[in-house]
Homo-oligomer: A and B are copies of this chain.
Amino acid sequence: MATVKRYKKEDFETYCLGATVSMEYLNIRPQNVSRVFLHSAFHESETKDKIAKICEKHGIPVEVNDKVFSILSQKENCYVIAMVRKYRCELDPSASHVVLVNPSNAGNAGTIIRSAVGFGVPNIAIIRPAVDFFDPKVIRASMGALSRLNFKYYDSWKEYIENNNKEERHLYPFMLDGSKLLHEVVIEKPFSLIMGNEATGLPSAFAEVGQPVRIDHGDGIDSLNLPIATSIGLYEATKGSWSKE
Protein backbone atom coordinates (compact mmCIF):
# COMPACT_ATOMS: atom_id res chain seq x y z
CA MET A 1 0.00 0.00 0.00
CA ALA A 2 1.51 3.28 -1.09
CA THR A 3 1.69 6.32 1.11
CA VAL A 4 1.46 9.65 -0.66
CA LYS A 5 1.60 13.26 0.42
CA ARG A 6 0.73 16.58 -1.15
CA TYR A 7 3.58 17.90 -3.26
CA LYS A 8 6.40 19.88 -1.70
CA LYS A 9 9.20 21.49 -3.67
CA GLU A 10 11.91 19.41 -1.98
CA ASP A 11 10.27 16.08 -2.87
CA PHE A 12 12.00 13.73 -5.30
CA GLU A 13 8.73 12.87 -6.93
CA THR A 14 5.93 14.91 -8.49
CA TYR A 15 2.66 13.80 -10.09
CA CYS A 16 0.31 14.22 -13.02
CA LEU A 17 -3.33 14.87 -12.16
CA GLY A 18 -5.78 13.43 -14.68
CA ALA A 19 -5.78 10.93 -17.52
CA THR A 20 -4.69 13.28 -20.32
CA VAL A 21 -1.71 14.62 -18.41
CA SER A 22 -0.70 11.18 -17.12
CA MET A 23 -0.88 9.71 -20.63
CA GLU A 24 1.59 12.31 -21.87
CA TYR A 25 4.16 11.22 -19.29
CA LEU A 26 3.45 7.53 -19.92
CA ASN A 27 3.94 8.03 -23.64
CA ILE A 28 6.91 10.42 -23.60
CA ARG A 29 8.81 9.60 -20.40
CA PRO A 30 7.68 6.17 -19.17
CA GLN A 31 11.11 5.67 -17.61
CA ASN A 32 10.32 8.47 -15.14
CA VAL A 33 6.89 7.18 -14.09
CA SER A 34 7.20 5.27 -10.83
CA ARG A 35 3.57 4.18 -10.44
CA VAL A 36 0.05 4.94 -11.55
CA PHE A 37 -3.01 5.28 -9.36
CA LEU A 38 -6.50 4.69 -10.71
CA HIS A 39 -9.74 5.75 -9.05
CA SER A 40 -12.32 3.00 -8.64
CA ALA A 41 -14.81 5.19 -10.53
CA PHE A 42 -12.53 5.31 -13.62
CA HIS A 43 -14.36 3.53 -16.42
CA GLU A 44 -12.91 4.73 -19.73
CA SER A 45 -11.91 1.30 -20.88
CA GLU A 46 -9.92 2.45 -23.90
CA THR A 47 -7.65 4.71 -21.85
CA LYS A 48 -7.51 2.06 -19.13
CA ASP A 49 -6.24 -0.50 -21.64
CA LYS A 50 -3.61 1.90 -22.96
CA ILE A 51 -2.38 2.62 -19.46
CA ALA A 52 -2.27 -1.09 -18.62
CA LYS A 53 -0.27 -1.86 -21.75
CA ILE A 54 2.34 0.86 -21.22
CA CYS A 55 2.68 0.05 -17.53
CA GLU A 56 3.14 -3.64 -18.22
CA LYS A 57 5.77 -2.95 -20.87
CA HIS A 58 7.78 -0.71 -18.54
CA GLY A 59 7.18 -2.54 -15.29
CA ILE A 60 5.22 0.36 -13.74
CA PRO A 61 2.96 -0.71 -10.85
CA VAL A 62 -0.73 0.24 -11.18
CA GLU A 63 -2.93 0.50 -8.12
CA VAL A 64 -6.62 1.25 -7.57
CA ASN A 65 -6.58 3.53 -4.55
CA ASP A 66 -9.27 6.17 -3.98
CA LYS A 67 -7.59 7.54 -0.89
CA VAL A 68 -4.67 8.85 -2.94
CA PHE A 69 -7.11 10.97 -4.94
CA SER A 70 -8.64 12.53 -1.86
CA ILE A 71 -5.13 13.50 -0.70
CA LEU A 72 -3.61 14.74 -3.98
CA SER A 73 -6.51 16.11 -6.01
CA GLN A 74 -9.05 18.83 -5.40
CA LYS A 75 -10.82 18.32 -8.70
CA GLU A 76 -13.79 16.01 -8.98
CA ASN A 77 -12.90 14.82 -12.45
CA CYS A 78 -9.49 13.36 -11.69
CA TYR A 79 -9.40 9.56 -12.02
CA VAL A 80 -5.76 8.88 -12.94
CA ILE A 81 -2.59 10.02 -11.20
CA ALA A 82 0.88 9.17 -12.50
CA MET A 83 3.73 9.59 -10.01
CA VAL A 84 6.83 10.95 -11.73
CA ARG A 85 10.43 10.76 -10.50
CA LYS A 86 12.04 14.13 -11.03
CA TYR A 87 14.73 14.28 -13.71
CA ARG A 88 17.30 16.75 -14.93
CA CYS A 89 17.30 18.20 -18.44
CA GLU A 90 19.86 20.08 -20.46
CA LEU A 91 18.99 22.83 -22.92
CA ASP A 92 20.12 22.43 -26.48
CA PRO A 93 22.66 25.28 -26.56
CA SER A 94 22.38 25.72 -30.32
CA ALA A 95 18.57 25.83 -30.41
CA SER A 96 16.15 28.72 -29.94
CA HIS A 97 15.01 29.30 -26.37
CA VAL A 98 12.45 31.02 -24.22
CA VAL A 99 14.09 32.65 -21.20
CA LEU A 100 11.80 33.35 -18.25
CA VAL A 101 13.27 35.81 -15.77
CA ASN A 102 11.69 35.31 -12.33
CA PRO A 103 8.36 33.77 -13.40
CA SER A 104 6.14 33.41 -10.35
CA ASN A 105 2.84 31.81 -11.32
CA ALA A 106 2.37 28.07 -11.83
CA GLY A 107 -0.59 28.31 -14.19
CA ASN A 108 1.24 30.82 -16.36
CA ALA A 109 4.33 28.60 -16.48
CA GLY A 110 2.22 25.65 -17.62
CA THR A 111 0.53 27.67 -20.36
CA ILE A 112 3.90 28.94 -21.60
CA ILE A 113 5.27 25.38 -21.69
CA ARG A 114 2.31 24.25 -23.79
CA SER A 115 2.87 27.09 -26.26
CA ALA A 116 6.66 26.61 -26.39
CA VAL A 117 6.26 22.90 -27.17
CA GLY A 118 3.47 23.68 -29.64
CA PHE A 119 5.58 26.22 -31.52
CA GLY A 120 8.59 23.90 -31.64
CA VAL A 121 10.75 25.77 -29.14
CA PRO A 122 10.96 23.12 -26.41
CA ASN A 123 13.85 24.73 -24.53
CA ILE A 124 13.10 27.04 -21.62
CA ALA A 125 15.72 28.68 -19.41
CA ILE A 126 14.49 29.90 -16.03
CA ILE A 127 16.31 32.56 -14.04
CA ARG A 128 15.86 32.24 -10.27
CA PRO A 129 13.98 33.11 -8.10
CA ALA A 130 11.23 31.32 -9.97
CA VAL A 131 8.26 29.01 -9.75
CA ASP A 132 9.02 25.28 -9.53
CA PHE A 133 8.38 23.68 -12.94
CA PHE A 134 7.79 20.29 -11.30
CA ASP A 135 4.85 21.66 -9.30
CA PRO A 136 1.80 19.51 -10.20
CA LYS A 137 -0.08 22.75 -11.01
CA VAL A 138 2.54 23.54 -13.67
CA ILE A 139 2.37 20.04 -15.12
CA ARG A 140 -1.41 20.15 -15.23
CA ALA A 141 -1.57 23.61 -16.82
CA SER A 142 0.94 22.41 -19.43
CA MET A 143 -1.47 19.54 -20.23
CA GLY A 144 1.52 17.24 -19.77
CA ALA A 145 3.66 19.11 -22.33
CA LEU A 146 6.32 19.44 -19.62
CA SER A 147 7.27 15.87 -20.58
CA ARG A 148 8.42 17.17 -23.97
CA LEU A 149 10.33 20.16 -22.63
CA ASN A 150 14.00 20.76 -21.86
CA PHE A 151 14.18 23.21 -18.98
CA LYS A 152 17.00 24.37 -16.81
CA TYR A 153 17.36 26.79 -13.90
CA TYR A 154 20.11 29.40 -13.72
CA ASP A 155 21.07 31.69 -10.87
CA SER A 156 21.61 34.67 -13.15
CA TRP A 157 21.30 35.91 -16.70
CA LYS A 158 25.08 35.81 -16.95
CA GLU A 159 25.19 32.14 -16.05
CA TYR A 160 22.59 31.42 -18.72
CA ILE A 161 24.14 33.34 -21.56
CA GLU A 162 27.74 32.22 -20.86
CA ASN A 163 26.63 28.62 -21.26
CA ASN A 164 24.36 28.90 -24.26
CA ASN A 165 26.21 29.79 -27.41
CA LYS A 166 26.43 33.50 -26.74
CA GLU A 167 28.23 34.25 -30.03
CA GLU A 168 25.55 32.89 -32.35
CA ARG A 169 22.47 33.67 -30.31
CA HIS A 170 20.03 36.50 -31.15
CA LEU A 171 18.49 38.10 -28.08
CA TYR A 172 15.04 39.68 -27.90
CA PRO A 173 14.01 41.08 -24.52
CA PHE A 174 10.25 41.79 -24.41
CA MET A 175 9.72 45.17 -22.76
CA LEU A 176 6.77 47.55 -22.60
CA ASP A 177 9.08 50.32 -23.85
CA GLY A 178 10.93 48.13 -26.34
CA SER A 179 12.37 50.26 -29.13
CA LYS A 180 10.92 48.13 -31.96
CA LEU A 181 7.52 46.60 -32.60
CA LEU A 182 7.54 42.82 -32.61
CA HIS A 183 5.97 42.52 -36.05
CA GLU A 184 8.54 44.84 -37.58
CA VAL A 185 11.52 42.87 -36.29
CA VAL A 186 12.98 39.95 -38.22
CA ILE A 187 13.60 37.36 -35.55
CA GLU A 188 16.75 35.46 -36.43
CA LYS A 189 17.63 31.97 -35.26
CA PRO A 190 18.77 30.73 -32.89
CA PHE A 191 16.79 33.21 -30.83
CA SER A 192 16.10 33.75 -27.17
CA LEU A 193 12.79 35.41 -26.36
CA ILE A 194 13.38 36.94 -22.93
CA MET A 195 10.33 37.55 -20.74
CA GLY A 196 10.16 39.24 -17.34
CA ASN A 197 8.17 38.64 -14.19
CA GLU A 198 4.34 38.88 -14.29
CA ALA A 199 4.14 41.99 -12.11
CA THR A 200 7.41 43.80 -12.71
CA GLY A 201 8.54 42.86 -16.23
CA LEU A 202 12.23 42.81 -17.13
CA PRO A 203 14.75 44.99 -15.31
CA SER A 204 15.64 47.92 -17.57
CA ALA A 205 19.23 46.65 -17.96
CA PHE A 206 17.89 44.00 -20.35
CA ALA A 207 17.39 46.71 -22.99
CA GLU A 208 21.17 46.47 -23.51
CA VAL A 209 21.48 42.71 -24.04
CA GLY A 210 19.75 42.52 -27.43
CA GLN A 211 16.97 44.05 -29.54
CA PRO A 212 14.17 45.10 -27.18
CA VAL A 213 10.75 44.48 -28.69
CA ARG A 214 7.22 45.40 -27.70
CA ILE A 215 3.88 44.07 -28.79
CA ASP A 216 1.67 46.72 -30.29
CA HIS A 217 -1.47 47.26 -28.23
CA GLY A 218 -3.72 50.05 -27.00
CA ASP A 219 -3.67 51.73 -23.64
CA GLY A 220 -6.87 50.15 -22.32
CA ILE A 221 -4.61 47.72 -20.45
CA ASP A 222 -1.23 48.12 -18.78
CA SER A 223 0.22 45.00 -20.36
CA LEU A 224 -0.71 41.68 -21.87
CA ASN A 225 -0.68 38.67 -19.61
CA LEU A 226 2.68 36.88 -19.58
CA PRO A 227 1.71 33.65 -21.39
CA ILE A 228 -0.11 35.72 -24.02
CA ALA A 229 2.92 37.93 -24.69
CA THR A 230 5.25 34.92 -24.75
CA SER A 231 3.01 32.97 -27.11
CA ILE A 232 2.58 35.89 -29.49
CA GLY A 233 6.38 36.16 -29.57
CA LEU A 234 6.68 32.45 -30.33
CA TYR A 235 3.99 32.66 -33.00
CA GLU A 236 5.68 35.59 -34.71
CA ALA A 237 9.12 33.95 -34.51
CA THR A 238 8.03 30.59 -35.93
CA LYS A 239 5.12 31.22 -38.28
CA GLY A 240 5.58 29.86 -41.73
CA SER A 241 8.30 27.50 -40.53
CA TRP A 242 6.00 24.50 -40.59
CA SER A 243 2.69 23.29 -41.71
CA LYS A 244 0.65 20.21 -40.94
CA GLU A 245 0.17 19.56 -44.64
Which of A's residues lie within 8 Å of B, judged by CB? 107, 111, 114-115, 117-120, 122, 143, 145, 148, 181-183, 214-222, 224-225, 227-228, 231-232, 235, 238-244
Contacts and interface: CB of A to CB of B under 8 A. Distances in A.
B243 A181 contact: yes
Contacts of A217: 118-120, 238, 242
24 contacts: A111-B228, A114-B225, A115-B225, A115-B228, A117-B220, A118-B224, A120-B218, A120-B220, A122-B220, A145-B220, A181-B239, A181-B240, A183-B239, A215-B235, A216-B238, A216-B241, A216-B242, A216-B243, A216-B244, A217-B242, A227-B228, A228-B228, A232-B235, A235-B235
Contacts of A107: 107
A220 B148 contact: yes
A188 to B, nearest CB: 18
B183 A221 contact: no
Contacts of A182: 239
Given A145-B221, A215-B235, 20 more contacts: A115-B224, A117-B218, A117-B221, A118-B217, A119-B218, A120-B217, A143-B221, A145-B220, A181-B239, A181-B243, A183-B240, A214-B244, A216-B238, A216-B239, A216-B240, A216-B241, A216-B243, A224-B231, A227-B227, A231-B231
A114 B221 contact: yes
B118 A218 contact: yes
A47 to B, nearest CB: 15
Would you list the 3 A-B pairs with minimal beta carbon distance, nearest first?
Answer: A118-B221, A118-B217, A117-B220
A219 B231 contact: no
A121 to B, nearest CB: 9
Contacts of A224: 114-115, 118, 231
Contact of A244 (B120, B145, B219, B235): B219
A148 to B, nearest CB: 5
Nearest to A228: B231
Contacts of A114: 221, 224-225, 228
